[in-house]
Structure 1
Amino acid sequence: MTAEADLLEGYDEELGGNEAQKRDCKGITTAVLVVVIILAMIFAALVLFTPLFASAHIGSKRLNISDLRSLRYPYAEFAFSENNVVMQSWEGVEMVENGVSRLIFGRENGAEISPSADLKYFALMDHALNPGMNPQNETFHLKIVNNNERLHSLIPYEIEELFRELSDSRITHDIGLRKEESVIQAFKWNGKRNDFVFVESNKIYYKSAPEDEGSIRVSHGGENTVDGLFDWVYEEEIFGRKDALWWSPKGDRLAYASYDNHLTKNVTLRSYHRLHSYTIDTNLHYPKTFAKVLPSYTLSIWDKKTEQAKQLDVQLKDSLSYHYLLAVKWVDINGTDRLVSVWTNRYQNEVALTICDWESAICHLEFEYKYAPRRWVAHDDFNTITSYENTLYFLLPHDIRGNAYQQIATLRLSTGNPRTPQFLQLGAFDVTSIDGINKETKTLYYHAAAPRPQQRSLFSFNLAGDSSRMAKSNVNCLTCTITNCTWAQAQIDEEMKKAIVSCKGPVAPHTTIVNLTRNLDKEETEYSELLEDRTYQTRFEDAGLPVIISDKFKISDEYVALTKLSIPKDVYAREKTRAIPVIVHVYGGPNDQNTKDATQIGIEEIVASGQQVAILRIDGRGSGGRGWKYRSAVYGQLGTVEVEDQLKVIKVVLKAYKHLLDPNRVAVFGWSYGGFMTLSMVNEAAENFFKCAISVAPVTNFAYYDATYTERYMGDAPLASYSDVTRKLDNFKTTRLLLMHGLLDDNVHFQNSAILIEELQNRGIDFDLMVYPNQAHSLSSRTAHVVGKMSQFLKQCFATEK
């Protein structure tokens, strides 16, 4: 062992000086040559006659758990600052100038950072204690740092930063009524100035500057009334954020929402702690399907000049029925900041748009719309509503050639009779968001699932063009010609002249800057890379990511499934004489896209790489990006047609790729809705079709899930129409199941798995179970254990033939 170690370390000078070795050099050389020739012959024979040699002995690099972080794109939350770009990274806030980034504010102890508009101040939000781990009780300690006080203009920035770190010389302000002891629920900078609001004890407070001693109370919330915050279901299913605060564009008024938190029913979250004799139980407001009471919201506007708040009278025709608050947006209507609020009925298939007036405190009903059968409204349809002069632009379904797509509708505001919206002539694809209008050039910018449904691109539309001409003459794809940018997410500056485009696929993520003023009538987009991060690019290229094969297969005369097959690189390169196992990764929720043309590196990629198996993803009926013909197919019948399509397409893919995939070693894996799909697919498949299944945090019956999500897709369907996966489990006698769930899951409650476990036990079915105490839906702090458990389970599953 020692000798081998020495030889590996390099040439040994003491052995090199031996005279006997020099005299016998010729004989030794001859012997070595003979040995080398023999070894070469053996090597050649192995290559020629052993099909799996390449895979078994010189395989490509395997992905591991550390790659989940190292391959994650390190930059996010981009914003323009004059002629430069500000972005957040793992280290903190960075400024990019001329393609080079420098840290302008470092991250402390993982705290969240929120810079003011002029970058003079940085708010640090450090999470406070939350013993019960209730997400609704998450708070943070807030301090604001003045980062603009330069020691001397001639001192290099890096030296000044080092001095500040050593001396802790920054001016810091603790925010809250009790200073450093305060726990803050939400915080929001004014986008125009360095003033801000924060929420403490369910009330909103205003400060004109971090240095101000006092705070102005904006609202009067309390124990039962919560101001400026969303409850769990609104945060999860509608707005996707916790704060319910909206500054006006001019920064002189603040809109906020309030809700009554004592009427909805609760679920109990239970956590377990070492050296605590009793569990810690906390209550979470969570209205489940068929709940009689849903959270009720009001809207108010606070005026900064008068320091007065007014609750708005929202004038809806059916004011006695329940309405969700769907969207809130300030828009410029003929030079005046006006607040638009959009409301929807309980089943989310009717909308009412109102425009709110500060002086009268009335939200006048401007527009109502009832969706066609089997269609529904989503928050994103109105979240990006924008305006030009006296016209509003938002998303509605538009019937085009036997399908219907989410398209941009225009509504000219009137003081008299309601008007019918008109549609821009864009093309047969789904628009996903509206990004704004350049009023000088009369150009509208939007994102769409085009040119292919699996892609996302930034487009422009010429509002001044001839509306009678074909759409192609007015439409321009601004990201389609950017190299390696099939999944683009763009952020446009206030003047609508530049865009930061984050390209998430098909290879290593990267970010470009597009000058919009030079791309109005050009087929080739003029762009430049934001920064050249060769370290990240090289790490990504060397990671050994799988080969991606995208395809489509016919489901029926009307429908086509999209597929995405990931094959380990070395397996794909070898001679195709032995098929490998396949994991069907499924989600399947309404409007989801699992085959998107973006780089996907999740735990399934780590597991598949380690086990040298393929991953198959399928989008059939119910999926997004291809209009309402596909999207609405699941309405009122979750767990039916999307399951049928997955099973049908798996068979077709196994046949089409029989040289690659082993039909006798097929596993299915899904999380959340995907966990529900996993169980449903095993139930509906032929016996022994799946060798094993992994279901993580599954819904087992949507009657146990939240009302907002479920009723959006099930409407007023009776309980008898709901799929209950626990009623048909016989296939799990031959298909091995691994069930995983966090005991503190606030999203899909452990109740779902508990009922499934009981039924499996009643039927005498053996299965593997892994529960995670004190872990929520994502199991984020147990990722390594989840990967290890899945890997071991699949290794045993695929070890032997049936």
Structure 2
Amino acid sequence: MATYKKRRPSLYLLKSNSSAHFMMAQGFELQAQSEGSRSFEDLNRDEENQPTSKLPSFKYIHRRLLLFSVAIFMSWILVGLSVWRFQNSQFLLANQDRNTQYQKPRDRSFNMATILNGEFSYHDAPFAFIKSGALFQAPENDAGLYLSIDDSNGIPKYVAKKLADRRFYQDLSGKSFEYRKQTYEIARFTVSHRLDYAVMASNLEKQYRHSSQAQYWLKDIAKNIITPITPFPDDPEHPKLSYARLSPSGNFVYFVYNSDLYIQNVVNKAVRQLSFDGSEQVLNGKPDWVYEEEVLATDCAVWWAHDDSKLVWARFDDSKVFKEPVPTYTNDNPYDDVQYVDYPKPGTPNPEVSLFTYDVNTGALHAITQPDEETRILYHAQWLDASKFMFKNSDRASKSLSVKIHDLDSNMVTTVREIDASSFSGWIEKVQNVQVIPSKPSADRPEIGYVDVGVDEKGFPHLFYFSSVFSDAGRQLTSGDWEVTGAGIVGYDYDTDAVYFQANLQNRFSQHLYSVHISESSDKEIQTLQDPNEKNAIYEFDLSLSCRFGVKRYRGPDLPMSDAGDLGSLLQNDESRAVTQLTSNSGLIAAVDKFDMPLKNQKALTLDDGVEIDYMEVLPIDVKSTKKHPLLVHVYGGPGSHTADSSFAVSLGESLASSEGAVVLKIEPRGTGGRGWSYRSWSKGKLGFWEPRDVLNTVKKYMAMNADLIDPERVAIWGWSYGGYVTLKTLELDGGQTFKYGVAVAPVTNWKYYNSIYTERYMGDYEENKENYDQYALIKDVKSISKVQRLLLMHGSADDNVHLKNTMNLLDQMNLNNVQNYDVTVFPDSEHSIMYHNAGNVIYEKMFLWLKNAFEGKLDTLDGSSK
């Protein structure tokens, strides 16, 4: 239930139209990788021998960017042809045509079938920078090397290209290969910066959100030799691994087999086993379920020094963690299969985490963390140079964070600073990597330092520069009533000492790229690098190591568009050959021209207690007609989340606005992100209190302001996961007075059932916060819910995240109280995203039809039949 937008219900369809899905559909999964290269010096020598195009120097580009910091050229006319302005969450798509239970609407409206049948399809070409393992890179040595897939001749293959040299093209691998007369399809592919070795995965089986099992292979590209990656080189069997990856300088492959960590030399193929106690309860180099889901957001818990000289791995001991059974049903076995997940819940034991360092050259192995730190939460780990390793951990309730440096030269661990979350009335949560700032004698900077995101005195996340890895305080670089957002820091330019970052400085619905200089003597303010007139736009950037090149992903409000090229040209919206368009959107452009698209507006209103609530308003094209419209409220509302932004979307709400004339609201209640901690901290200790009140009061006020527009008898609310919880809490609070219908998908119904790290981060210890746990952090008044016209509950039976127990417990309460005004759909063996065996299509069709029937008055009798 973490706050990085992972549970937005549109995620299922978003994947089907993103570049990641495009590659999966072809049997590929391209991973952006910052691993696999030689040293900075080797890279310089390589680049001197490569032809490059005559691009201006980066210093000139940077000066040119400053000239355009006030206003940058024309708006995004090239993005689409005569398109509407849209704001919302994520774009949706499913590729296959199929028969549905309802007909496509006539004229210029569309429904959910239109979306699921692919009318609004678009995709981005696969693209990932292949970055060296160096801490920084000179712009003149950065050719913008990247990995892509070329299917121009109908036979897809992995290729390496350079943005600085359009002539450079290296064929790396086809989508399949043969080994001992057997053909294997490639599921994942990563390559070293030298382009000499690649790691490939086949027969991949997903496990949880990030983890999987697969067979892995090492390819010598020059010799076209493929060898299995295995702990047992002489064994003909090729076992599946948790993962296999290249070290930063590309000298080693590291992998996890049966919860033990191994490394392998890419040249002589010698394998070393680093841990020996791996088991189902002890995991080395691989996070357990709760760390994968709520903290690290990856399947890997190994961190290499950039020069491949040392590594650190985390060991997770779940021997004291209670297990949650997750049965599966869709098989031919006479008995159900049951998977047991180590799943800590509030008040039960958490996993114990310890860190170990290994010197590749000497074979020396040391424990970093002390026994009393094993029960703390490891929130961050990162090498700052070849001898300094930073890690951050917190107490169990995430109230304070310790920032520690392990100095391998002295084998000492030093706590350099403590962050007390009570100073901003908040909590500690997952953080981004810090940006390493190397020493620079010409700038009178003898030591390595870093830039980190911290909370300033006004309670806003901003950039702070620490001049030494042992500094106990940083110098604030940015300030204002706005936040560093998204990926946060995205790059550092060594030549200009500028740090690039993303922020919502323009307004709370937007995100743009900015830069700031770290020099204390610099009088330069924050540089606005994009057109300041594009106040509502959402951009995401990925920069090459030197920041000379980048990928710009425009997310809205107009049609999505991704481009790659030199950063100066990207920021100027240059249409020349210096920029490569990655997006193919002819289908999307045609759909926007074919259908009347809903109108979208960013809005805010002030509640009676003076708090301003942001929301997005979606209006049907015929909103000025004399008829009154149904109202659909879409809510998520999790702490620190931010879902009402300017991103382009065509989803459930838009389909109902178009085909059923519904008005749709997307509301950001107290506790959500993007507005500083004074707004976010309303959630502290009170999950389930402010969210339903803000949603209900916002809707009441909106309806009063638009009494001539909204039909008060056709008002519905829906949400997924945390949004399902807020939906139920809102119906519970309202008692059928305002909301007549509700749809809750995979909802939490009692926070004592959810995982400990997420729940206790916001609610604290149960014994210390009993009143709020028992009063607000659960669904308890089902008699109030019985007063709505109808409720739809949906859940996946194999949900390892929000367990089916949540919905089953709610249904039991309803039975005990003779509540019967609900419909239930359980999706066999689907996990939290509900996609198994076509469930991803079915659930959206069901929600659309159910809400359509509700708005047409067909669900107003107890048995759901038409009046």
Q: Shared fold (TM-score greater than 0.5)?
A: yes
Q: Which residue of 2 aligns with 1:186?
A: 243
Give the one of 492, 496, 501 matched to 2:543: 492
- Of 475-484 and 759-768, deviating more is 475-484
Give the one of 512, 533, 551 matched to 2:603: 551
How much does 1:425 deviate? 3.7
Matches within 5 A, 1:297-308: 297-308=353-364
- Of 660-669 and 212-221, deviating more is 212-221
**2:651 aligned with 1:598:** no
Give the one of 624, 633, 636 matched to 1:584: 633
The CA distance in 2 between the partners of 1:261 and 1:69, in whole Å, is: 47
The CA distance in 2 between the partners of 1:493 and 1:134, in whole Å, is: 30
Q: Which residue of 2 aligns with 1:631?
A: 680
How much does 1:784 deviate? 1.2
**2:366 aligned with 1:310:** yes
Q: Which residue of 2 aligns with 1:427?
A: 480
Q: Is the 8 A contact 2:217 2:229 kept in 1?
A: yes
Matches within 5 A, 1:321-470: 322-332=375-385, 337-372=387-422, 374-380=425-431, 382-389=432-439, 390=447, 391-400=449-458, 404-413=459-468, 419-432=472-485, 433-464=488-519, 466=521
Closer/same/farther in 2, CA of residues 77 and 660 from structure 1, 3 Å limit = farther
SS of residue matched to 1:548: strand
Q: Is the 8 A contact 1:269 1:746 kept in 2?
A: yes
The CA deviation string for residues 362-383 of structure 1, in whole angstroms up to 9 with x for no partner, is 3222112212253112222x53
How much does 1:763 deviate? 1.6
Q: Which residue of 1 aligns with 2:138?
A: none
Larger RCO, structures 1/2 (Cα 8 Å, 6+ apart)? 2
**2:747 aligned with 1:703:** no
The CA distance in 2 between the partners of 1:197 and 1:679, in whole Å, is: 46
Q: Which residue of 1 aligns with 2:189?
A: 113
Give the one of 681, 687, 690 matched to 2:736: 687
Aligned residues: 702
How much does 1:788 deviate? 1.9
Q: Which residue of 2 aligns with 1:651?
A: 700
**2:295 aligned with 1:243:** no
Q: Which residue of 1 aligns with 2:323?
A: 266
Q: Normalising by structure 2, what TM-score?
A: 0.75
Matches within 5 A, 1:471-486: 473-480=524-531, 486=537
The CA distance in 2 between the partners of 1:482 and 1:305, in whole Å, is: 55
SS of residue matched to 2:585: helix
Matches within 5 A, 1:27-176: 58-63=107-112, 64-66=114-116, 71=121, 73-75=123-125, 78-80=128-130, 82-87=143-148, 93=158, 105-107=173-175, 109=185, 111-128=187-204, 138-148=212-222, 171-176=225-230
Q: Is the 8 A contact 1:75 1:89 kept in 2?
A: no
How much does 1:765 deviate? 1.6
Q: Which residue of 2 aligns with 1:566?
A: 618
The CA distance in 2 between the partners of 1:671 and 1:749, in whole Å, is: 13
SS of residue matched to 2:293: helix
The CA deviation string for residues 445-500 of structure 1, in whole angstroms up to 9 with x for no partner, is 22212211222222100223656x6xxx4211224469798222212222233322
Q: Which residue of 2 aligns with 1:752?
A: 806
The CA deviation string for residues 197-232 of structure 1, in whole angstroms up to 9 with x for no partner, is 1111111111221x6444122222322432100011
SS of residue matched to 2:510: coil
The CA distance in 2 between the partners of 1:630 and 1:100, in whole Å, is: 52
The CA distance in 2 between the partners of 1:799 and 1:713, in whole Å, is: 40
Q: Is the 8 A contact 1:486 1:506 kept in 2?
A: yes
The CA distance in 2 between the partners of 1:634 and 1:67, in whole Å, is: 39
**Structure 1 residue runs without a partner (length 5+):** 1-54, 150-169
The CA distance in 1 between the partners of 2:558 and 2:639, in whole Å, is: 27
The CA distance in 1 between the partners of 2:350 and 2:394, in whole Å, is: 13
Amino acid at match of 2:192: S
Q: Is the 8 A contact 2:125 2:584 kept in 1?
A: no
Q: Is the 8 A contact 2:782 2:819 kept in 1?
A: no
Closer/same/farther in 2, CA of residues 83 and 635 from structure 1, 3 Å limit = closer
The CA distance in 1 between the partners of 2:584 and 2:574, in whole Å, is: 25
**2:581 aligned with 1:501:** no
Closer/same/farther in 2, CA of residues 222 and 425 from structure 1, 3 Å limit = closer
Q: Is the 8 A contact 2:507 2:536 kept in 1?
A: no
How much does 1:608 deviate? 5.3
The CA distance in 1 between the partners of 2:541 and 2:744, in whole Å, is: 35
**2:346 aligned with 1:294:** no
The CA deviation string for residues 538-559 of structure 1, in whole angstroms up to 9 with x for no partner, is 4245244532121111124642
Q: Is the 8 A contact 1:92 1:113 kept in 2?
A: no
SS of residue matched to 1:198: strand
C-alpha root-mean-square deviation of aligned residues, in Å? 3.2
Q: Is the 8 A contact 2:384 2:390 kept in 1?
A: yes
Q: Is the 8 A contact 1:188 1:245 kept in 2?
A: no
The CA distance in 2 between the partners of 1:687 and 1:591, in whole Å, is: 29
Closer/same/farther in 2, CA of residues 605 and 220 from structure 1, 3 Å limit = farther
The CA distance in 2 between the partners of 1:349 and 1:581, in whole Å, is: 43
Q: Is the 8 A contact 2:700 2:738 kept in 1?
A: no
SS of residue matched to 1:542: helix
The CA distance in 1 between the partners of 2:684 and 2:328, in whole Å, is: 36
Q: Is the 8 A contact 2:638 2:672 kept in 1?
A: yes
**2:853 aligned with 1:796:** yes
SS of residue matched to 1:504: strand
Closer/same/farther in 2, CA of residues 602 and 330 from structure 1, 3 Å limit = farther
The CA deviation string for residues 133-178 of structure 1, in whole angstroms up to 9 with x for no partner, is 67798411112344445xxxxxxxxxxxxxxxxxxxx532221135
SS of residue matched to 1:551: strand
Q: Is the 8 A contact 2:258 2:278 kept in 1?
A: yes
- Of 597-606 and 662-671, deviating more is 597-606
Q: Which residue of 1 aligns with 2:74?
A: none
How much does 1:605 deviate? 4.2
Q: Is the 8 A contact 1:78 1:88 kept in 2?
A: no
**2:799 aligned with 1:742:** no
How much does 1:579 deviate? 2.8
How much does 1:314 deviate? 5.1
Q: Which residue of 2 aligns with 1:539?
A: 588
Closer/same/farther in 2, CA of residues 136 and 538 from structure 1, 3 Å limit = closer
The CA deviation string for residues 230-252 of structure 1, in whole angstroms up to 9 with x for no partner, is 01111111111111011212222
Q: Is the 8 A contact 1:744 1:775 kept in 2?
A: yes
